[in-house]
Amino acid sequence: MTETSSDTSWLSALLDWSVSLMDVIGPAGAGVAIALENLFPPLPSEVVLPMAGLAASTGSFTLFEALAWTTGGSIVGAFLLYGLGAWLGVERLRRIAGRVPLLHPEDIDRTVGWFQRHGGKAVFFGRMIPIFRSLISIPAGVTRMPLWRFGLLTAAGSLIWNTIFVLSGYLLGESWHVVEQYVDVLQYVVIAVVAVAGAWFVFVRTRALVEASRDRRSAAQHEDDRELASSTSSRRD
């Protein structure tokens, strides 16, 4: 099978190891690699999946096996993160938020409320968005989304995502990198949106803290002036 990269970085080594699993244990190796990708997002599925498709095109295993095992790996990885979210729970997250600067327990309540209303769409479409592919399983666990519903939505979203990239490797062969370029653009857009949203959140919360501090100082100064005026009036009397 073609090596993913000649680079000797730790990520390239991890990718090469993941791809080598397909040589050793066949399509099950692709499933293991994708399960790990869910737990360790820096391992890019958009590289592992086309390699599974490429292996299927050479007859190492069938296309059906590639899709079945990679989707199964996605489900297993997603359920592990769901378990992490269930272990954290709402109350533990509220306590954590209360200790983190700029966060409030009410932020957790609002997030949970939003997820309870839109969690189905978030899980399904989240499986097709870089970065969020893995993270979306955690709030599903926190809110205790029914396991059957979470499993079906995860399987459906993962199957669509996996099919696109497995087929790119199967049909394009060594030219599958063409698809990767478009995913890189999508990933940069997602990162930019997250960065802007994070910066705006920090700005709004910091401004609110500054204004609250200013109001407290103003109130304290007003109280001091009132007490001074009252004390002066008492001495005159």
Distance between CA atoms of 33 and 58, rounded to whole angstroms?
Answer: 19
Q: Which of 65-74, 88-97, 130-139, 169-178 has the highest mean pLDDT?
A: 65-74
In this model, does residue 40 exceed pLDDT 60? yes
Selection from 59, 60, 77, 50 nearest residue 22 by Cα: 60
**Per-residue confidence (pLDDT) for residue 21, from 0 to 100:** 78
Round to whole Å and give the CA distance between 182 and 211.
44
Phi then psi dihedrals of residue 127, to 5 deg: -70, -10
Closest to 20 in 3D by CA, of 42, 51, 50: 51
User: Tell me, what's the pLDDT at 8?
Assistant: 46
pLDDT in tens, 105-161: 888 888 888 898 999 999 999 898 887 888 899 999 999 999 999 999 999 999 999
Quote the CA–CA distance of 128 and 61 in Å, as a whole number: 25
Higher pLDDT, 184 or 63: 63
- pLDDT tens digits, one per residue of 46-84: 878 888 888 888 888 889 999 999 999 999 999 999 999
What average pLDDT is seen over the chain? 81
Mean pLDDT of 191-220: 75
